[in-house]
Each structure stands twice: as structure tokens, then as C-alpha cells.
Amino acid sequence: MSITRRSVLSLLAASAFLPAASAFAQEAAPEATAPEAEPFPVRAEDENKIAYKYRRREVEYESSEAPGTIVVDPKKRYLYYVLGNGQAIRYGAAVGKAGRTWSGHSTIGRMEKWPTWTPTPEHIAEFPKLVKYLPDGMPGGPENPMGARALYLYQGDVDTIYRIHGTHDPKQIGRKKTAGCFALLNTDVIDLYNRVQLGTKVVVMEY
């Protein structure tokens, strides 16, 4: 699960105020669905807080992958959504230590809006107060380190424990700042979420 020490400390400080498919192949990548009202704030201005090269844009990108495929380049901290015809949408990402040691093919097996976050035993050991979020997890919201959306990566029926998710901290983008997952700006993960579906292929390149 993806979380930084700063995120955990911020979470603990804020918690006192909180209430206790089939694989697809297409000739062209699908269009993003229309945006919808969000139950919590999503700051468009976060884009201005990251390096220009990590801001979402359409770029030239030659790939043998079919349109609609997600390709993660952990070394360069980019995530690509393949459009076809030598084009892709490129997003800046944060990539953690585990994300730099795992590579391979997977598919999106689950998609969640404002996902629940459940601390791992390692998080509980370091921050015992997080035990309050067991067993049901921390509800989605502005203090939840999973951000506005989460895409859960599976290999067959097996959860890889890797996620593509949002972040409330734009300083993470373009850096090695998560504990294992791939984080995008909330605005970017919402855009990506609106383009994909269950069964979407995800390729994680070697670091």
C-alpha cells in the first residue's frame, strides 16, 4: 500500500477531527468519460506545484502495446496511456521502493472512487494509533493517502498488491516517494480512471 511518512504523520494529526471483467482490445483508445461532481475537493492548481515535465500531456510515444494499454516507466516516473498511431497521454508519477523492484504484465481487476485505505502491519508497528482504522479501514476523503481514485492491479485472479492511485501531496510527483505503488495527482488519476475499465492491460517496465 502506498503511503509516505509525511502522509502518515499528517493523517494522525488530522484523524482527531475525523468521524470515528474481460480483457479488451480496441483499434483506438476510448475517450475519457465526462467529469462528475466530487464529494471532496480536488485541487486543479496542484498541477502548478509539480515540474513542468511531469504535467499531463499528449506526447509522441512509439509502443507495440495496443491502444488503451497503460505503461508505467518507474525509472523515469512516467505513466503512459497508449492512444495508438505513435501517441500517448503521459502522466507524471511517484514510484516507491517496491515499485522499483517489480515489473511485468497485469490487468485492472478493481476500480474504486475515493477508496478506503487499510494500514498494513508495518504501518501499525510504526504508528500504533493507526490501529483505529482496523479492520474496516480509513474511509475515502481528503486525509486518505490513496487519494481520489485507485486502480487495483491483478494477475489473473490474484491481487498483486500494487495500485495506481491518487495523492493529495503534489510534492510526491516525479520522486521516489511512495511505499510501493504508483501515485498520480488526483486530477490525473481521475482523468485516467475515466479512460480505463476492468480488464485494461497494465505493463510495468523494469526499473
Domains of the chain, residue spans: 5-31+46-204
Residue 168 catalytic? no
Q: What pLDDT shows up at residue 19?
A: 44
> Could you report the per-residue pLDDT of 32-62, keeping only the tens digit for each?
766 678 999 999 999 999 999 999 999 999 9
What's this model's pTM, rounded to 2 decimal places? 0.82
Q: What pLDDT shows up at residue 17?
A: 42
How far is the CA of 35 from the CAs of 32, 42, 138, 192, in angstroms? Answer: 8, 12, 25, 11
Residue 147 has pLDDT above 60, yes or no: yes
Among 87-91, 94-98, 173-177, the range scoring the smallest mean pLDDT is 94-98
Backbone angles phi, psi at 87, to 5 degrees: -130, 155
**5-31+46-204: CATH class:** mainly beta
Share of the chain above pLDDT 90, in %: 69
Q: What pLDDT shows up at residue 16?
A: 46
**Catalytic: which of 105, 123, 165, 168?**
165
Mean pLDDT of the region 134-149? 94
Average pLDDT, the chain: 86
Residue 105 catalytic? no
Q: Name the helix (H) or strand (E) containing 94.
A: strand 94-95
Alpha carbon distance 39, 184 (integer Å):
19
